[in-house]
A and B are shown apart, each in its own frame.
Chain A
Amino acid sequence: MPPTPCAICRTNRALILRPKDHSKLCKECFINVFETEIHHTVTTNNLFNRGEKIAIGASGGKDSTVLASVLKTLNERYDYGVELILLSIDEGIKGYRDDSLETVKRNAKQYDMPLTILGYDELYGWTMDQVVEQVGKKGNCTYCGVFRRQALDRGAVRLGVKHVVTGHNADDVAETVLMNLLRGDLPRLSRTTSIVTSTPSASNDPNSHTNIKRSKPLKYAYEKEIVLYAHHKNLDYFSTECIYSPEAFRGSARALIKNLERVRPSAILDVVRSGEDMAKLVPGADESCGGACSSQVPAAEEEEGGCGSSNGRNAGGKMASMEAHLAQNEVAAENGLEIEITMNGVNGQRHNRQDGGTASVVNGKKGRAKGQAFTPRKAPKQQVMGQCKRCGYLSSQEICKACVLLESLNKNRPKNHIEVSSHMQEETNGEVHNVTRG
């Protein structure tokens, strides 16, 4: 095949085929267009305020590395006047984070940004390795995801930062949209599709970690383009899969997204846009801020599954935490709206606004829902925001999820404490957790 010229400069050889519009671009034009689109996302959504200090949730993976690189570039090019820092979470999985944290440390130098690394042990008294030792490999992603969600907010508070940006991309959002549709959780749909999710302060304490603003500047960026951007800009990133959830992709919503993309690349953004449209129609969603400001779903409970990455892309983790959410919703549902009513509202209008294809996937699920599949399930009841009685974190429950999980973890620890305090004195130097169980 003869080389195709770039659609923009018409000189260089096209190397990139854009999924959203099939345009063929050369490397330089692609990089420029990609950055300009992120700039557009930032400005049209008013994501940043001049003088603001912003923490980038950094995992050393492709998304957060690209996010750091692009934001640094844009901050300089367009003079946003924001201060960017890197915040990394160390789950405490031996051998797993070592390389990615090394990558983050290099990124900190490359982008000249200060870096803070915060461990689960510091925050919760448990490393993920210890959690796995306690609960086994099944379901541990739930812990990882719940802990992670709060970890970034808590870390932000320690750093005196009110705004955390994460590397969630269009594929992540599309996946979440599908998952929320599959389980008929429309309130959460509205929250997970919004580009900004601030958690309104539940306390008067200025140091409370519940009023941290979260945003996703890469929300409309295809994962494919993020990887290509990293490749063509030669960015230093690290990829791995969480060793505790091998083969998590099989049969997942993620795999479905990737299959859709293969057939019809624009499908990913179509799903994202459809999710946004549906979210607007969810009763109770606050349209003026994309459902971000006063949604009944507190961000503290937002699903952000996932071991490993700050993005929680891990499908296994999402599935696991989805189960947890489902169970919880079921309990909280007594006074809830019939989801059917909500679905009818959604069905009634709007949906064909875009070029149809979106559509087929989403409509498929919807059609089913209208029939019978979702009827028995009730929507989560209007949740009342409050504070966790244990840790003060914003929560719709009396005790937040992290604390519930911690409680169950700690329950199984007393045995060790007794041993330590009675006849294993010589071991007290070692970590309590390492003491052999009786």
Chain B
Amino acid sequence: MSGTKDDKAIPITVEFSGGLEMLFSNQRKHQLSIPTKDEAGSPSNIAYLVKYLCENVLKDPRKDLFILDGSVRPGILVLVNDADWELEGEDKYEIQRNDNILFVSTLHGG
């Protein structure tokens, strides 16, 4: 990642709730710019975003509370612009400019 950041990056909002914010510096809303393409040159999708979050944003050592076997842990809901990601192609969904991606845990105390 170098040079002209603007056309090489997609601005998005990533939110964590339901207890997940605790893993992400206790911050619910994160404004991020993620690369437009993944390492293989394919458009960045949610699978890539999750990996990106783990490498760049998730500082808590308990990464397994967020990902399990390389994908979002069962019990964590993913909403893409308020829609269940299962309606949007799950982790294959290609991220668009200004998307809002919400990860909400159902696992924490009720």
Contact residues of A with B, CB < 8 Å?
A: 1, 3-4, 13-17, 24, 27, 59, 61-64, 100, 167, 169, 171, 223-224, 226-228, 231-232, 239-242, 246-247, 249-250, 254-255, 258-259, 261-262, 308-311, 313-314
Contacts and interface: CB of A to CB of B under 8 A. Distances in A.
B91 to A, nearest CB: 12
A14 B75 CA distance: 21
Given A62-B18, A224-B77, A255-B74, A17 B86 contact: yes
Contact of A239 (B79, B83, B105): B105
Interface string B57-76: 00000101100000001110
B109 to A, nearest CB: 4
A66 to B, nearest CB: 8
A309 B87 contact: no
Nearest to A22: B86
Nearest to A63: B110
B104 A240 contact: no
Nearest to B75: A258
6 contacts: A1-B87, A226-B110, A227-B18, A231-B79, A240-B22, A254-B107
Contacts of B74: 255, 258-259, 261-262
B99 interface: no
Contact of A313 (B62, B77, B102, B110): B110
Q: Report, as a range, how many residues of chain B touch the other chain.
A: 20 to 34
A169 B79 CA distance: 21
Interface of B: 17-19, 22, 62, 64-65, 73-75, 77, 79, 82-84, 86-89, 93, 102, 104-110
B110 A17 contact: no
B84 A240 contact: no
Given A64-B110, A228-B84, A313-B110, 5 more contacts: A17-B87, A223-B106, A227-B106, A258-B107, A310-B110
B109 A313 contact: yes
Nearest to B21: A239
Contacts of A242: 109
Contacts, number: 96
A250 B64 CA distance: 9
Nearest to B76: A258
Contacts of B84: 15-17, 228
B64 to A, nearest CB: 8
Contacts of B110: 59, 61-64, 167, 169, 223, 226, 239, 309-311, 313
B87 A240 contact: no
A63 B18 CA distance: 11
A227 B75 CA distance: 11
Nearest to A249: B107
A231 B102 CA distance: 10
A308 B104 CA distance: 19
A242 B109 CA distance: 8
Contact of B87 (A24, A27, A171, A259): A24
Contacts of B18: 62, 227, 239
Contact of B65 (A3, A100, A247): A247
Nearest to A225: B106
B19 A231 contact: no
A24 B84 CA distance: 10
B43 to A, nearest CB: 14
Nearest to B85: A17
A31 to B, nearest CB: 13
A231 B77 CA distance: 11
A239 B62 contact: no
A218 B73 CA distance: 24
Q: What are the 8 A-B residue pairs with the smallest beta carbon separation, nearest first?
A: A63-B110, A309-B109, A61-B110, A239-B19, A258-B74, A258-B75, A239-B108, A308-B109
B17 A15 contact: no
Interface centre among A14, A100, A240, A241 (most CB of B within 10 A): A241
A259 B102 CA distance: 20
A61 B105 CA distance: 12
Nearest to A14: B87
Interface centre among B19, B89, B106, B109 (most CB of A within 10 A): B109
Contacts of A64: 110
Interface centre among B17, B65, B83 (most CB of A within 10 A): B83
B77 A227 contact: yes
A300 B47 CA distance: 47
Nearest to A65: B110
Contacts of B82: 15, 27, 232
A13 B17 contact: no
Interface centre among A17, A62, A64 (most CB of B within 10 A): A62
Given A227-B77, A231-B104, A258-B75, A59 B87 contact: no
A141 B66 CA distance: 24
B79 to A, nearest CB: 7
B65 A240 contact: no
A169 B109 CA distance: 12
A62 B75 CA distance: 14
B109 A239 contact: yes
A263 to B, nearest CB: 9
